[in-house]
Structure 1
Amino acid sequence: MNPRDLLREMFAAAVQAAQSAHCIPPHLPSPGAGRLVVIGAGKASAAMAQAVERHWPGPLSGLVVTRYGYAVPCERIEIVEAAHPVPDAAGREAASRILDLVAGLGADDTVLCLISGGGSALLPLPLAGVTLEEKQAINRALLKSGATISEMNCVRRHLSAIKGGRLAAACHPARVINLLISDVPGDNPMDIASGPTVADPSTCADALEIVRRYAIELPAGARRLLESGEGESVKPGNARLAQVDTRLIATPQMALEAAAQVAREAGITPYILGDAIEGEARDVGKVMAGIARQVATHGQPFATPCVLLSGGETTVTVRGEGRGGRNVEFLLALGIALDGHPGIHAMAGDTDGVDGQEEIAGALLASDTLVRAWALGIKPMDALQNNDGHGFFGALGDAVVTGPTLTNVNDFRAVIVTGE
């Protein structure tokens, strides 16, 4: 199998491992005496809802919100589409309706909450004093700042009327079962969609420090919420969260293990370097290039042929006029550092099919990538400095386009080192 085909097969296996059709059924609860109400948000939430409908033996109802283009047919659970990564009015309306849906439930009722990556932007219900337009501006500033996903979600939780455990508190006294598909480094439930149905130990003071650290301009209403403490989230030990059961049904590690099995079957030894790697995408690319060179040249720390697998969520501090995209930025920095080293091929992509704000999952890198770019008059370093990885790989025909994958377990990176 040639390296490009193997890279694509590993990526496909990683995405398949996180599909709702086989992740949801083992975690469905037994029917209880009361109602089952299904709610949720995220890029995978519609597919998750469909899997629930197909495997749940009794009556149910509900509402989930997913990204535009990610809806799938459901009969009893309403599917609403909204904007991601910058929220819109459709998401705000859906969030408000979800809160209304769980109001007035009894102790015999069960709320099945389906949460996946992207849910934070899809549930944009700001606290009083903050408008949707202001939340949009704050979100854009956070996305461009270089803040980690954990830092961004801390700020979001403390300006929200639904995140930071508030949705779970609204479900009380009903039982809440969270089925989560993780897209965050460390798989911390409070960072998956900003934790609408789990307790949040972080504080308004923490959010203010993040805002200061990245020089984010806050509207007066948002600053007042944080400085006064009125934006405080629901904390661990709160009695309203006593009946919450949280289960991680798909994670980045599971996806990497599925890719590793594909590599083994192709006769190449896989090494998972980490499922929670963070940092500037271009810096991670340089480090990975150094590791790959050491393997290719010295057989250390691994013998060739091998594939280096990793996941997590890097960041891009956008300074140029390009379209960003952390996976293509990683890959471009990797390629520049490798400088056409023979015997090294790579792929990086987002398992949801969207790298940054582009409908492109990622791209492929080969030893001749830079040569082909120069032949077209494209300067790789200029593209990197302009944060234009998508333009770079698109011009070479090396972009990877999957369309909506209906899941999200974050970034996938694979570097094949053959030693040739």
Structure 2
Amino acid sequence: MIADPRLFLTSLYEAAVEAADPLSRIRDLLPPPPVGGRVVVVGAGKGAAQMARSLESLWSGPLTGVVVTPYGYECETQCIEVIGAAHPVPDQAGLDAAERLKAAVSNLSNQDLVIALICGGGSALLPAPPDGFALADEIALNEQLLVSGAPISAMNGVRKHFSTIKGGRLAALTKARVVSFVVSDIPGDDPALVSSGPTIPNLGSYHDAAEIIARYRLKLPQRMLDFIGSDAARAPNPADAHFAGHSHHLVSSARISLEAAAASARASGVTPVVLSDCIEGEAKDVGRVHAAIAHEVALHNSPFIRPCVLLSGGETTVTLRSKGGKGGRNGEFALSLALAIDNLDVFALAADTDGIDGSGDNAGAFSDGTSVARFIAKHVNGHAKLSANDSYAAFAAINDLFVCGPTGVNVNDFRAILVR
């Protein structure tokens, strides 16, 4: 029997985050140094600075380069410059960083090597609007996408067609060979969609982008719609000669992290059940489905035997119904789950592996079978808070926010539900 469920769930989260550190995988996959050429490092994402520091510790020769990461995610490096920029809404620093990355690779020869360090978050960190458009246009596009309820793969499918750096365009600027190391935050782990694939193209077309815009009813200016529907928005094709000799490696993913959490649970005497590493959908709906499974286990020992811990990953979405609420997708999941597991011997943690859920200071939240009673004691209407997308305030009232700070990795959502 687990005496301290929160400590147990936190240990699973820590195991998942530790497994997402790409250091060991990068070590095994490093390319040989180019003969007579230079090595230039570029990168973007929530863990890009930590990946750069890891690469420096592994590489024996000279390195130069630049990576961009969200403000607060920076770390000290020796020779690779780290630039901070805004996330999830782009800013001027990100625009300048995108130009720096393009300049870093554009004058290289076929004797040189580019090492690209790509992880989730780079789409917002690398604003590079097409000719004739401005940063404000890319900000408007990002704001529409963030409130649309579209999954990350769909959002990045649009972003890469409104950019001069995404969709493989950064790699297309150089004559050097490009080796990309990718930490996936995309359900399904398509490396070409992580950070909208600055160095890895995919087969998605601008027709697909137009369909996504229509499906999620994005309210974009006609001028932007006209561009995305034109040949000018066409992203490079993977078969393009620019990409001959390039390679990429998936060095971390939600699956790897969940397997590490499962091993940790097993070592504690609790049977782990990995439901999926690529769950998408509305966070509140996914919360109710997880609650239904936990309910079945708690009351009927089916389809799994207690004690067990249900593990899942992926990236849920939140369609905003209120402008006054605060909280990310993991908080919304946890609140929806809490309302559905009232009085059950069930404990849960939902948290983003990057350490920040939405725009708050928390990674997510704990919830359990006593959450509803504690909401009531604090005069918090949990259902009203869920309707207002205000999970942060609900969990803050009962001291159930999970705060750990930026982790330097990003393989998206981590959910663990202990049924005792």
Range into which the TM-score falls when normalised by the shorter chain: over 0.9
Per the alignment, residue 182 of structure 1 pairs with 184
Amino acid of the residue matched to residue 193 of structure 2?
Answer: D
Residue 354 of structure 1 deviates from its aligned partner by 1.0
Residue 224 of structure 1 deviates from its aligned partner by 2.4
Residue 125 of structure 2 is aligned to residue 126 of structure 1: no
Q: Percent same amino acid among aligned pairs?
A: 48
Contact 1:318–1:324 (CA<8 Å) still a contact in 2?
Answer: no
* In structure 2, distance between residues paired with 1:340 and 1:23: 43
Per the alignment, residue 406 of structure 1 pairs with 408
Moved beyond 6 Å, runs of 4+: none
* In structure 1, distance between residues paired with 2:254 and 2:101: 28
Q: How does 1:152-167 map to 2 (within 5 A)?
A: 152-167=155-170
Amino acid of the residue matched to residue 239 of structure 1?
Answer: A
Once the two structures are overlaid, the 10-residue window that deviates more, 204-213 or 78-87, is: 204-213
Residue 213 of structure 2 is aligned to residue 222 of structure 1: no
Residue 297 of structure 2 is aligned to residue 295 of structure 1: yes
Per the alignment, residue 37 of structure 1 pairs with 40
* In structure 1, distance between residues paired with 2:70 and 2:352: 15
Per the alignment, residue 238 of structure 1 pairs with 240
Contact 1:129–1:221 (CA<8 Å) still a contact in 2?
Answer: no
* In structure 2, distance between residues paired with 1:183 and 1:154: 14
Q: How does 1:365-376 map to 2 (within 5 A)?
A: 365-376=367-378
Q: How does 1:6-405 map to 2 (within 5 A)?
A: 6-33=8-35, 34-171=37-174, 173-320=175-322, 321-341=324-344, 343-405=345-407
* In structure 2, distance between residues paired with 1:85 and 1:23: 28
Contact 1:20–1:47 (CA<8 Å) still a contact in 2?
Answer: no
Amino acid of the residue matched to residue 277 of structure 2?
Answer: D
* In structure 2, distance between residues paired with 1:168 and 1:384: 43
Once the two structures are overlaid, the 10-residue window that deviates more, 346-355 or 331-340, is: 331-340
* Aligned pairs, number: 416
Cα shift readout 1:197-231 (whole Å, capped 9, x = no counterpart): 11221111111111122221222432221122211
* In structure 2, distance between residues paired with 1:5 and 1:243: 47
Secondary structure in 1 matching 2:229:
helix
* In structure 2, distance between residues paired with 1:5 and 1:22: 27
- Structure-1-length-normalised TM-score: 0.97
Q: Structure 1, unaligned stretches of length 5 or more?
A: none
Amino acid of the residue matched to residue 27 of structure 2?
Answer: P
* In structure 1, distance between residues paired with 2:223 and 2:50: 37
* In structure 2, distance between residues paired with 1:293 and 1:228: 50
Residue 149 of structure 1 deviates from its aligned partner by 0.6
Contact 2:273–2:310 (CA<8 Å) still a contact in 1?
Answer: yes
* In structure 2, distance between residues paired with 1:187 and 1:338: 31
Once the two structures are overlaid, the 10-residue window that deviates more, 104-113 or 37-46, is: 104-113
Secondary structure in 1 matching 2:232:
coil
* In structure 2, distance between residues paired with 1:217 and 1:128: 21
Amino acid of the residue matched to residue 231 of structure 1?
Answer: A
Residue 361 of structure 1 deviates from its aligned partner by 0.2
Amino acid of the residue matched to residue 392 of structure 2?
Answer: H
Residue 360 of structure 1 deviates from its aligned partner by 1.0
Residue 368 of structure 1 deviates from its aligned partner by 1.1
2:7 paired residue among 5, 8, 12: 5
* In structure 1, distance between residues paired with 2:228 and 2:69: 28
* In structure 1, distance between residues paired with 2:217 and 2:300: 44
* In structure 2, distance between residues paired with 1:128 and 1:176: 25
Amino acid of the residue matched to residue 228 of structure 1?
Answer: S
Contact 2:350–2:366 (CA<8 Å) still a contact in 1?
Answer: yes
Contact 1:363–1:398 (CA<8 Å) still a contact in 2?
Answer: yes
* In structure 1, distance between residues paired with 2:223 and 2:163: 12
Once the two structures are overlaid, the 10-residue window that deviates more, 122-131 or 405-414, is: 122-131
Q: Structure 2, unaligned stretches of length 5 or more?
A: none
Amino acid of the residue matched to residue 137 of structure 2?
Answer: E
Residue 398 of structure 1 deviates from its aligned partner by 0.8
Secondary structure in 2 matching 1:333:
helix
* In structure 2, distance between residues paired with 1:237 and 1:24: 26
| RMSD over aligned Cα atoms | 1.1
